[in-house]
Structure 1
Amino acid sequence: MVALSVLDVSPIIEGGTVQDSLRNSLDLARHAEKWGYTRFWLAEHHNSPSIASSATSVVIGHVAAGTTSIRVGSGGIMLPNHASLAIAEQFGTLEALYPGRIDLGLGRAPGTDQRTAAALRGDSGRDGQFFPEQLAELRAYFAGRMPIRAIPGEGMTLPIWLLGSSDYSARLAAELGLPFGFAGHFSPQQLLPALELYHRNFQPSRTLAEPYALVAINVIAAETDREAERLATSGQQLFLSFIRNRPGPLPAPVDSMEGIWTEREKLALQQNLGGSIVGGPDTVREKLQRLLHDTKANEIMAVAHIYDHAARLRSYEITAEIGHKLSR
């Protein structure tokens, strides 16, 4: 069987509030737990009017406190934005509060624009090129091999995942014998090459005897193909706002994108969102099975930028009904 999980950013919708977004994330997590999802991850982004999960560790604690069994974690923490000691302490605290339920997914991108990244990082001067050294430092804090002790943190054995949208983290995860998650929801063209590299180069470790690959993918499910395609226009409009450098909250869906995007913008969306799985139950089942066949993924993590919360819940419910019957 293939594990199913959720990736969330606590989306802020047009006309909504941050409080609504955080409340809805917890509600989604509670439903996901009931529907048998394995984990519920939150992503770190900054300076975005459509995302409420920027203080990712805090929101993880909020979700973990309101659920009982589902794993909760980061998808991911953008490590260059933080001191390794701070992340060790934050996730050590989360693991102490919710033992056996916390995942630490790490990325090396800023999760924002360069100006905001500079504000986050201050005088540290660190960027993605120092990611391997910073990862080693973080792991050393957990192992108690640093002159300064991470308390809480030291001695904790919570899972560390490497996340990426190219082959860089795939190669590093394989070398270190760590689980790997790929951002297929916005980088579908690099998905198969990165996973092939990860599987081919994997070195067994104390953490993993065999490779374990997770694929994050946009999944918009509804009762019919037409309704799912309408729901998906919210995410398409949101992507347009980013490429036009006019970011805003997640907009309501429209009946058609024609007249909203240019041909060039439509092509850009197809290149970045072309791996999305959008449709009614039969379409989603067929496309999920094809994705599993092509990727040999151990786990699918569904992403759903849907404006209406009830429709978002229904999308994840349909996905669960289908996904739990699929196999690699």
Structure 2
Amino acid sequence: MLKLSVLDQSPVPAGSSHTEALHNTVRLAQAADRLGYTRFWVSEHHNSQGLAGSSPEVLISTLAAKTQRIRLGSGGVLLPHYSAYKVAENFRVLDALYPGRIDLGVGRAPGGTPHTASALQGGSANVFKGLDRFPGQVEDLIRFLTDSVEPGHPLEGIRATPLVGTVPQLWLLGSSGQSGVYAAQNGAAFCFAHFINGAGGQQVVRSYKSAFRPSQLNVVPQAMVGVYVICAPTWEEADRQARTLDLQLLMIEKGRFTGVPSPGDVEAYSYTEWDLSRVQDNRKRMIVGAPDQVKEQMALLAADYGVGELMVVAAGHDFGSRMRSYELLASAFQLT
């Protein structure tokens, strides 16, 4: 049976607040726990009016305290901005408190504008330097998580505390091939963001599997795919809900993302021919429909990628419709 997980970006619908968005993330994690989803990840975005999640480590601690069994993780920590040592310690604390339930997903995206990235890196004039050191950061992160700093290494003698006997699951996240290369080289798990890039991901995952090197983290490759899913009782209703995501993605491409648009915003927007072509192309990043339709499409997508788990990003203007998507999916896949 296909495993389903959740990625929640704490979206802020038009007319709502960041505080409300974070509380909705907590409610959604509790529902995912109850409905039988495998894991629940939260994202990291900065200086964003439309997304409230800026500190996944803090949010994960709250979610873990308010759920029972579901795995909690970051989707993901933007490693180039931070010290690998401090990230390892943050997630060791979480793993010590909630053993066997913590995932550490890391990415190399800036998570905001260059100006914001500079602020995250202490005012650095070269915000892209973090991308160059990302491969080494991943290696250091693994050394700290597994207590495997080699003799003679500059980090010899340094251990990440607390000292625990478990290791968070390490996932590298990406929407192109490079993160898959790093994941394979280091024996880490890999999640491809189909919801960001709907083209070419299948070959990325195949390449990751073929190049995978066994490690202390994983003996065999472990891959997952994230995808937008909008599920409603009928296709017509799902399509209406998807139109808010259509406009949201279009606005992001135009650099004008201020929140999740409302159905009224969709009705009022005047689409150009170019807009409509972008909407059509962006639908490749989504699965939209009634439960049976969505289940079939999700199974086909998983088979096409060769994975046994999909991470669902249920989009929509209102929290109720997103919650309903997850409830319908759980029933269609008989998760509980």
Is contact 1:175–1:202 with CA below 8 Å preserved after alignment?
Answer: yes
The residue that corresponds to 1:249 in the other structure is 259
- SS of equivalent to 2:41: strand
Q: What is the CA–CA distance in structure 1 between the aligned matches of 2:216 and 2:13, rounded to whole Å?
A: 43
Q: What is the CA–CA distance in structure 2 between the aligned matches of 1:121 and 1:114, rounded to whole Å?
A: 10
User: In structure 2, which of residues 222, 240, 248 is the aligned counterpart of residue 212 of structure 1?
Assistant: 222
- SS of equivalent to 1:218: strand
Worse overlay, 136-145 or 265-274: 265-274
Q: What is the CA–CA distance in structure 1 between the aligned matches of 2:275 and 2:79, rounded to whole Å?
A: 31
User: Per-residue deviation at 1:256?
Assistant: 6.0
Is contact 2:244–2:266 with CA below 8 Å preserved after alignment?
Answer: no
Cα deviation digits, residues 238-286 of structure 1 (max 9, x gap): 2222222222121223596695332223333443441310011122122
Is contact 1:221–1:318 with CA below 8 Å preserved after alignment?
Answer: yes
Is contact 1:4–1:324 with CA below 8 Å preserved after alignment?
Answer: no
Cα deviation digits, residues 75-125 of structure 1 (max 9, x gap): 111100111122112111111221211100011111212221111112665
1:138 aligns with 2:148: no
User: In structure 1, which of residues 295, 303, 322 is the aligned counterpart of residue 313 of structure 2?
Assistant: 303
Inter-CA distance 175–324: structure 2 relative to 1 (3 Å threshold): farther
Structure 1's unaligned 5+ residue stretches are none
The residue that corresponds to 1:61 in the other structure is 61
The residue that corresponds to 1:122 in the other structure is 122
Cα deviation digits, residues 175-216 of structure 1 (max 9, x gap): 222211000011010211211211222222332222211000
1:312 aligns with 2:326: no
Q: What is the CA–CA distance in structure 2 between the aligned matches of 1:173 and 1:248, rounded to whole Å?
A: 33
1:112 aligns with 2:112: yes
Worse overlay, 20-29 or 281-290: 281-290
User: Per-residue deviation at 1:2?
Assistant: 1.7
Worse overlay, 45-54 or 263-272: 263-272
Is contact 1:234–1:254 with CA below 8 Å preserved after alignment?
Answer: no
- Normalised by the length of structure 1, the TM-score is 0.93
Worse overlay, 316-325 or 227-236: 316-325
Inter-CA distance 265–153: structure 2 relative to 1 (3 Å threshold): farther
Cα deviation digits, residues 142-196 of structure 1 (max 9, x gap): 2343344322367651111111101111122122222110000110102112112
The residue that corresponds to 1:277 in the other structure is 287
Worse overlay, 180-189 or 301-310: 301-310
Q: What is the CA–CA distance in structure 2 between the aligned matches of 1:10 and 1:153, rounded to whole Å?
A: 32
- SS of equivalent to 1:161: strand
Q: What value does the CA root-mean-square deviation take over the aligned residues?
A: 2.0
Worse overlay, 45-54 or 247-256: 247-256
Is contact 1:3–1:324 with CA below 8 Å preserved after alignment?
Answer: no
Is contact 2:246–2:282 with CA below 8 Å preserved after alignment?
Answer: no
The residue that corresponds to 1:286 in the other structure is 296
Identity value in percent: 40
Is contact 2:5–2:310 with CA below 8 Å preserved after alignment?
Answer: yes
Q: What is the CA–CA distance in structure 2 between the aligned matches of 1:273 and 1:90, rounded to whole Å?
A: 37
Is contact 1:89–1:153 with CA below 8 Å preserved after alignment?
Answer: no
Is contact 1:252–1:307 with CA below 8 Å preserved after alignment?
Answer: yes
Q: What is the CA–CA distance in structure 1 between the aligned matches of 2:137 and 2:163, rounded to whole Å?
A: 16
1:175 aligns with 2:178: no
Aligned length: 325
Structure 2's unaligned 5+ residue stretches are 150-154
Is contact 2:250–2:278 with CA below 8 Å preserved after alignment?
Answer: no
Is contact 1:11–1:51 with CA below 8 Å preserved after alignment?
Answer: yes
1:186 aligns with 2:196: yes
1:149 aligns with 2:149: no
1:87 aligns with 2:87: yes
In structure 2, give the amino acid aligned to 1:88: A
- Normalised by the length of structure 2, the TM-score is 0.90
Worse overlay, 156-165 or 211-220: 156-165
